[in-house]
């Protein structure tokens, strides 16, 4: 039996597919891996023995696969993922069978593969980080847990008790202020000239304050790019 040693490249991990050096397409069969298949990533170089009708993977040289670790987020100026091992961080629901390593990563991190969505049995989702900033985890507030989603792109402050925070503290009055009283004269002879007045409220006076018609922008200086996640 003729036995041939040859290098190949992993083109898929689920199912495991290898394209041998010199071949135009990946093999249509699943090779026998003598190393742990879970260690293999897309673009890894594998050393194969090819006896008749079978291919045995006996070694591995890690390919870059675009680099990075499973679950890593990476920013760049691209419209689509730069490598098949990466997916967009856009909230997409994926099949666990297609990306078992990323699903396992979420399972290990959150206790469930569908922390970001999906049914957790056959599907899971990647986080949707579009129009969001990244914050390094820490503290005991809203930033305490990895994977937490906080804040909103827009919000309003209604002119109501619920729309504003309560103001507490003491209110001080300014003292030593005087009211000017006109000098006594023949035309002001009784106290009623000063004490009696109308109990009817004066009509409101229309006012128009200057300013723009739109609210002020409070968006911090930023640079827009696109994030991808290492999935295979």
Which CATH number covers residue 126?
A: 3.90.1340.10
**Phi first, then psi: what are they for 132, rounded to 5°?**
-130, 150
Judgement on whether residues 114 and 11 belong to the same structural domain of the protein:
no
Domain boundary, last residue among 61, 78, 93: 61
| DSSP letters spanning 191-225 | THHHH----SPPPP--------SSPPP-PPP----
Residue numbers of the domain that contains 23: 4-61
Judgement on whether residues 94 and 113 belong to the same structural domain of the protein:
yes
Residue 168 maps to a domain = no
Report which of 123, 98, 9 is spatially closest to residue 57, judged by C-alpha positions. 9
Report which of 103, 85, 86 is spatially closest to residue 94, judged by C-alpha positions. 103
**Phi first, then psi: what are they for 102, rounded to 5°?**
-70, -40
Residue 180 maps to a domain = no
Judgement on whether residues 116 and 100 belong to the same structural domain of the protein:
yes
Judgement on whether residues 25 and 46 belong to the same structural domain of the protein:
yes
Residue 110 maps to a domain = yes
pTM tops 0.75, yes or no:
no
Residue 198 maps to a domain = no
**Count of domains for the chain:** 2
Return per-residue pLDDT of the chain as tens, 232 residues.
Answer: 455 788 888 888 888 999 988 788 998 889 988 888 888 888 888 888 888 778 888 877 766 666 778 999 999 998 888 888 899 999 999 999 989 999 999 999 999 999 999 999 999 999 999 999 999 998 888 889 999 998 887 777 666 666 666 777 776 655 555 555 555 665 655 555 555 555 555 565 565 555 656 666 777 889 999 999 999 8
Which CATH number characterizes residue 33's domain? 2.40.50
Judgement on whether residues 97 and 56 belong to the same structural domain of the protein:
no
């Amino acid at each position: 039996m003729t036995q041939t040693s040859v290098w190949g490249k992993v083109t898929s991990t689920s199912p495991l597919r290898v394209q041998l050096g010199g071949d135009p397409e990946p093999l249509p069969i699943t090779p026998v891996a003598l190393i742990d298949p879970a260690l293999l990533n897309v673009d890894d170089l594998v050393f194969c023995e090819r006896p008749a009708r079978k291919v045995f993977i006996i070694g591995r040289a890690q390919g870059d696969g675009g680099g990075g670790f499973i679950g890593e987020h990476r920013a760049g100026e691209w419209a689509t993922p730069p490598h098949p091992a990466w997916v967009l961080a856009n909230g997409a629901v994926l099949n666990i069978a297609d990306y078992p390593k990323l699903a396992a990563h979420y399972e290990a991190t959150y206790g469930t593969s569908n922390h970001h969505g999906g049914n957790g049995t056959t599907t899971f989702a990647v986080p949707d980080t579009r129009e969001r900033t990244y914050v390094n985890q820490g503290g005991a507030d809203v930033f305490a847990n990895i994977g937490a989603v906080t804040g909103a792109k827009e919000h309003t402050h209604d002119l109501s008790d619920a729309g504003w925070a309560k103001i507490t503290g003491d209110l001080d009055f300014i003292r030593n202020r005087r009211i000017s009283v006109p000098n006594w004269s023949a035309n002001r002879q009784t106290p009623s000239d000063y004490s009696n007045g109308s109990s009817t409220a004066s009509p409101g006076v229309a006012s128009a304050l200057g300013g723009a018609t739109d609210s002020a922008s409070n968006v911090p200086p930023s640079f827009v790019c696109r994030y991808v996640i290492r999935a295979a």
